[in-house]
């Protein structure tokens, strides 16, 4: 039979040192007293509190005044046709589905070393199928051309937009 808590009137099973998890504060052993002292004395406490960084203010173009990428994607979805920019395939993903964010592709990379000021620029974001987005970001030119020949589309449309945006970005700096 399981041991019962030492606290008066409690029949819960023992968690540690004769007391249940609800009555650990009644312990009188040295280990418990030391842990209380560490919690109450910041000089003894070895756990450092994590300081959260102050949020950075976005300094790029935000032509749709969105508060974040999710809101920007929703505004783009509401304002454009629900077809792929590349292949004109109907996009079947809907908000909340697992691939929802995968249908929005940045033509110019949004990373710090790339084109961060165009991260929230609606012209820099195109709607693609998740497969097309993966091909654009991670695959070789050969793989893109194979896809294009199988699906009767042309990547030049995306490349031309990329060149146009690069020229625009150069003027922005």
The pLDDT tens digits for 7-66 are 888 988 888 888 888 888 888 888 878 887 777 765 544 556 667 676 666 778 888 899
Range(s) of the domain holding residue 45: 1-51
Tell me: do 74 and 46 sit in the same domain.
no
Tell me: do 80 and 139 sit in the same domain.
yes
Cα distances (angstroms) measured from residue 133 to each of 34, 46, 84, 101, 147: 56, 47, 10, 10, 12
Tell me: do 89 and 162 sit in the same domain.
yes
Kindly tell me the burial class for residue 162, based on how many C-beta atoms sit within 10 Å of its own C-beta (0-12, 13-18, 19 or more). Answer: middle
Tell me: do 22 and 74 sit in the same domain.
no
Tell me: do 35 and 82 sit in the same domain.
no
Tell me: do 74 and 115 sit in the same domain.
yes
**Each residue's pLDDT tens digit, 101-124:** 999 999 999 887 789 999 999 999
Q: Residue 104 in 3-state DSSP?
A: strand
Number of domains forming the structure of the chain: 2
Alpha-carbon distance of 143 to 150, in angstroms, equals 11
pLDDT of residue 44: 46
**DSSP per position, 121-146:** -GGGEEE--HHHHHHHHHS-HHHHHH
pTM: 0.66
In a domain, 139, yes or no: yes
pLDDT of residue 88: 94
pLDDT of residue 173: 66
In a domain, 74, yes or no: yes
pLDDT category at 91 given cuts 50, 70, 90 is very high
User: Taking CA 170 as the corner, what is the angle to CA 85 and CA 105, rounded to the nearest 5 degrees?
Assistant: 25
């Amino acid at each position: 039979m399981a041991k019962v808590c030492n606290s008066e009137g409690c029949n819960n099973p023992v968690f540690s040192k004769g007391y249940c998890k609800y009555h650990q504060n009644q312990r009188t052993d040295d280990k418990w007293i030391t842990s209380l002292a560490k919690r109450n004395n910041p000089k003894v406490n070895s756990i450092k509190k994590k300081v959260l960084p102050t949020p950075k203010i976005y300094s790029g173009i935000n032509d749709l005044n969105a508060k974040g990428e999710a809101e920007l994607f929703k505004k783009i979805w509401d304002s454009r046709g629900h077809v792929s920019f590349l292949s004109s395939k109907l996009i079947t993903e809907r908000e909340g589905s697992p691939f929802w964010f995968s249908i929005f592709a940045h033509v110019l990379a949004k990373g710090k070393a790339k084109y961060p000021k165009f991260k929230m620029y609606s012209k820099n974001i195109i709607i693609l199928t998740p497969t097309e987005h993966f091909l654009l970001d991670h695959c070789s030119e050969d793989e893109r051309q194979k896809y294009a020949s199988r699906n009767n589309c042309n990547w030049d449309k995306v490349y031309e937009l990329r060149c146009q945006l690069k020229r625009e970005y150069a003027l922005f700096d």
